[in-house]
């Protein structure tokens, strides 16, 4: 029994020593794992800092680009507003021109119709009219032609004044 007791004590001491070695090995392994994790954590932190810096720079560039685009959009919107205003003025001017041409056409068609009718009357019945009648027709033609001529002169004078009154101010517009 004594031999078994010593065997048990030696076995217990050997087992205790083995447990102590395994614990030391486990502790060493844990330290290596912790050191490895710390090294990986530092590398990861550096990577995160690098990416954060890169993203910050990219974000700043995007912000600058957005500002430039916003300014360009504002400039284009202003140009569009100016074009729309010009378009509106042009349409109003065209309506006034069309109305003026209608009035002028009406004012010219009457006297020209009278001239045509008198000339047709003289042409068709030239030999049947007396000299007095022919003079009367020619006098009437002269009055109508003179009146129409004065109307055209006034229209030309008005047109020249309108042209001189328009001052062109060309300017560059960024689109």
Mean pLDDT of the chain: 87
The tens digit of pLDDT for each residue in 33-77 reads: 999 999 999 999 999 999 999 999 999 999 999 999 999 999 999
pTM of the model: 0.48
CA-nearest of 96, 108, 111 to 142 is: 111
**Residue 168 reports pLDDT greater than 90:** no
| Nearest-angstrom CA–CA distance, 99 and 173 | 32
């Amino acid at each position: 029994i004594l031999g078994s007791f010593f065997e048990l004590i030696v076995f217990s001491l050997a087992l205790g020593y083995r447990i102590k070695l395994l614990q030391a090995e486990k502790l060493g392994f844990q330290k290596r794992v912790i050191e490895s994790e710390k090294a990986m954590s530092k590398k990861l932190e550096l990577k995160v800092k690098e990416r954060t810096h890169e993203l910050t720079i990219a974000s700043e560039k995007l912000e600058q680009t957005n500002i430039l685009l916003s300014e360009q959009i504002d400039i284009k919107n202003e140009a569009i507003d100016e074009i729309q205003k010009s378009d509106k003025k042009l349409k109003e001017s065209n309506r006034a021109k069309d109305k003026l041409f209608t009035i002028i056409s009406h004012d010219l068609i009457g006297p020209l119709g009278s001239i045509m009718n008198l000339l047709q009357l003289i042409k068709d019945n030239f030999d049947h009219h007396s000299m007095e009648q022919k003079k009367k027709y020619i006098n009437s033609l002269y009055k109508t032609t003179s009146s129409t001529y004065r109307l055209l002169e006034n229209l030309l004078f008005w047109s020249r004044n309108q042209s001189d009154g328009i001052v062109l101010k060309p300017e560059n517009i960024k689109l």
